[in-house]
Amino acid sequence: MLNLLLTIVAIIAVLAVSFVIKAVVVICEEREETASASDLYTSAVSRHTTSHKKAVA
């Protein structure tokens, strides 16, 4: 019984992860139309460092 439950949970987890990956791919494809990947990377890095500076200050 426990094996069946774990199997069901594992299947649901795999489906959820695959759905999230598909969603991320779609979002990235939409953003590439307006900005290149390097622009997205630099903006993400600047946001990350800014949040760190705010946390330290």
Q: How many whole angstroms separate alpha carbon 42 and alpha carbon 26?
A: 20
Distance from chain centroid for Cα 48: 15
Can you give the residue range of the structural domain that contains 34? 2-56
Give the C-alpha distances (Å, rounded to integers) separating 27 from 3, 8, 15, 23: 36, 29, 18, 6
Q: pLDDT at residue 3 above 70?
A: yes
Structure confidence at residue 55 (pLDDT): 56
Quote the number of domains for the chain: 1
pLDDT-based confidence at residue 2 (cuts at 50, 70, 90): confident
Q: How many whole angstroms separate alpha carbon 35 and alpha carbon 28?
A: 10
Structure confidence at residue 8 (pLDDT): 95
Per-residue pLDDT reduced to its tens digit, 8-50? 999 999 999 999 888 888 887 776 665 555 665 666 666 655 5
pLDDT-based confidence at residue 1 (cuts at 50, 70, 90): confident
